[in-house]
Chain A
Amino acid sequence: MNEFFKWEYVITLFPKVLSALPTTLFIVLFATLIGSFLGLIIAYCRIERIPIVNQISAVYVSFIRGTPILVQMFIVFYGVPSLLGVIGIDISNWNKLYFIYITYGINTSAYFSEIFRSAISSVPASQYEAAASIGLTKWQTYRRTLIPQAGKIAFPNLGVSIVNLLQNTSLAFSLGVLDIMGKVQTLGALYYRVLEGYFIAAIIFIVLSISLEKLFNMLEKRMHAPKRSRQVTMQPLALERAEAAMTVQKSIK
């Protein structure tokens, strides 16, 4: 055992592997941002059944969900630049990380779009009608009525999806990006110590996943807690002023 695995290497290598943590976290962050943005647009197009875009979105979503992310990564990294090269746009000298952000963003958008779509569809149709009946535009209806209610429904699934995304980032090293897994590989080649590296990576991923899970659980609980503490915005202020005005009026009468 001592031959294969030495604790002292775990200690030496740990800070080095940990230095790649920001890279991994940034992939998760950008993928989540891009995924949320695209995912919402796709979900909207599918719910409203916008002609052509709806069908394209459906194919897009099943393609992304039906192919391994490794394949998607190679398409984005090798395929797209050579395609763009044909029409005279050169992006081959871009930072590799941009391609990674784009790939993971696109990948996440497909999963998120389905989460958003099912969440928005599960808000009762009567809520939409109520909003329409008081004269809200479609955009206002989504912003004020559908998305706030759908958000609560979507939230736990988004958490699961993001934890998944975190594990998936470990494939980014196949393009030579120095995220946590990439770092483990390079250090392995450098020190001839592979097992310790993977052990460290496993620990970091487990800790990250559990923290993410806990974070989402906490936020979810807060979302469903009695709402009074949440509305510390304009409303109560306006409400109090209105009440004060009314009491003054009454006392004058």
Chain B
Amino acid sequence: MIEIKDISKSFGKNAILKGMNVTIEKGEVVVILGPSGSGKSTFLRCINFLERADAGEISIGQTKVEFKKAKSKEILAVRRKTAMVFQQYDLFLHKSAIENVVEGLIIARKEPKEEAYKKGLELLSKVGLKDKRDAYPHQLSGGQQQRVGIARALALNPEVILFDEPTSALDPELVGETLDVIKHVAQTGVTMIIVTHEMSFAYEIADRVIFMEDGVIVEQGSPEELFEQTKEERTKQFLARFSR
């Protein structure tokens, strides 16, 4: 279980997160929706300390850390229980697909190389890229890179995977293959927090949908509750722009 309490974060005078509370059960898939600038990405980035939140605390499994006071050891502990899939994929540019996947296992987790490569190959075949194992990021399409990114996150077997707009930078044609992989992973019981603008995908995959704006949660509930029995006016406005 992951519990995030009272998280807030400002950039200068600009308050991005204003004390959000989120609890996520093991195996739950949570999708966060919201307009640009509502703090969705900042929320994800604060969870694994890519940004340092100003206040609040997080507990993942046995680890409990206050955002502001966390020392580098505690930050590392949280990071090793989480994994992130980035909007721009952010694969290691000087490493092949398979090397990208095993890097965290061999270097951060100190797993034996043979084991790590075995796991890495399994994951690459899981995302349908076994034959691309030796390709470098610049030789892969955006969708393929993102699938390697997902395999890299999965390799760490984290308590939660954070998806930061995983398909926003992709060609429309490549969005499908990436979403399919994410769906497939969701079915295996991995806990996920996904920030996305793909509404039908959100509807299909989420156990719970959170709509946020201006650093606070406006409304949350099951996909049916949020999309079909919307309570808040603001949420309705936002969703209206997407429904056809």
Contacts and interface: CB of A to CB of B under 8 A. Distances in A.
B117 A133 contact: no
A1 B134 CA distance: 66
A225 interface: no
Contacts of B83: 133-134
B86 interface: yes
Contacts of B118: 242, 245-246
A104 to B, nearest CB: 32
A238 B94 contact: no
A134 B76 contact: no
A134 B92 CA distance: 11
B80 A135 contact: yes
Interface stretch (B98-106, B182-190, B213-221): B98-106
A246 B121 contact: yes
Nearest to A249: B118
Given A126-B88, A130-B90, A242-B121, A135 B108 contact: yes
A127 B93 contact: yes
B162 to A, nearest CB: 8
A135 B76 contact: yes
A229 interface: no
Nearest to A152: B94
Interface stretch (A41-49, A140-148, A178-186, A213-221): A140-148
A247 B115 CA distance: 15
B107 A148 contact: no
Contacts, number: 87
Interface in B77-136: 79-80, 82-84, 86, 88, 90-94, 96, 98-99, 103-104, 107-109, 113-118, 120-122, 133-134, 136
B92 A130 contact: yes
A79 B117 CA distance: 57
Contact of B117 (A132, A148, A228, A239): A239
B50 interface: yes
A132 B52 CA distance: 13
A137 B79 CA distance: 10
Interface string B146-158: 0000001100100
B167 interface: no
A241 interface: yes
B90 A127 contact: yes
Contacts of A2: none
Contact of A238 (B48, B88, B96, B117): B117
Interface string A220-252: 000000011000001100110111011000000
A133 B160 CA distance: 12
A149 B136 CA distance: 14
A87 B86 CA distance: 57
B86 A130 contact: yes
Contact of B113 (A137, A140, A234): A234
Contacts of B136: 227
Given A134-B108, A235-B113, A243 B121 contact: yes
A129 interface: yes
A239 B101 CA distance: 12
Nearest to B117: A242
A166 interface: no
A96 to B, nearest CB: 43
Contacts of A228: 134
25 contacts: A126-B86, A126-B88, A127-B90, A127-B92, A129-B86, A130-B92, A131-B92, A132-B48, A132-B79, A133-B48, A133-B84, A134-B79, A134-B104, A134-B153, A135-B104, A137-B76, A140-B107, A140-B108, A235-B99, A238-B113, A239-B121, A241-B114, A242-B114, A243-B121, A246-B121
Nearest 10 CB-CB pairs, A to B? A134-B104, A242-B117, A242-B118, A135-B108, A238-B113, A135-B80, A133-B84, A130-B90, A126-B90, A135-B79
Interface of A: 126-127, 129-138, 140, 144-145, 148-149, 152, 227-228, 234-235, 238-239, 241-243, 245-246
Given A127-B93, A149-B93, A238-B117, 4 more contacts: A132-B49, A135-B109, A227-B136, A246-B118
